[in-house]
Amino acid sequence: GAGVSQSPRYKVTKRGQDVALRCDPISGHVSLYWYRQALGQGPEFLTYFNYEAQQDKSGLPNDRFSAERPEGSISTLTIQRTEQRDSAMYRCASSLLGRTGELFFGEGSRLTVL
């Protein structure tokens, strides 16, 4: 596709359920990033990949959060046993070169945990 695609755009789930958020980056982009953005705040780094390798996962809040990019393209961010505090906009971004490259963001996945 022409841009970064994220699905679902909106997800409402009950506390304790697992959710999987998908990101399809721009074709050919080496690096893929996951951010979380609360209303009125800047994007908060979660993790990023170069190709299929997870380079930095230090931003993941706890071990309920995990991400993978098995074939170096599509990535999935999984949140297990969701809690209300996990409610946020989850944004995926990709870049062509990785280091110092411009990030292209997707429209985001809005997660609401009831």
List of residues contacting another protein (CB under 8 A): 31, 33, 35, 40-45, 48, 50, 55-56, 59, 91, 93, 98-108
Least CB distance to another protein at residue 18 (A): 25
Nearer CB in complex with another protein: 84/100: 100
Residue 62 CB neighbours (<10 A): 9
Segment holding 96, helix H or strand E: none
Cα 15 to Cα 1, 32, 66, distances in angstroms: 33, 28, 17
Least CB distance to another protein at residue 98 (A): 5
Distance of CA 28 to the CA centre of its chain: 18
Nearer CB in complex with another protein: 19/32: 32
Least CB distance to another protein at residue 22 (A): 16
Nearer CB in complex with another protein: 15/95: 95
Nearer CB in complex with another protein: 54/80: 54
| Burial class of residue 105 in the structure, from the number of CB atoms within 10 Å of its CB (0-12 exposed, 13-18 middle, 19+ buried) | middle
Least CB distance to another protein at residue 113 (A): 21
Single-letter amino acid code for the residue at 3? G
User: What is the spatial distance between Cα 112 and Cα 110, in angstroms, rounded to a whole number?
Assistant: 7
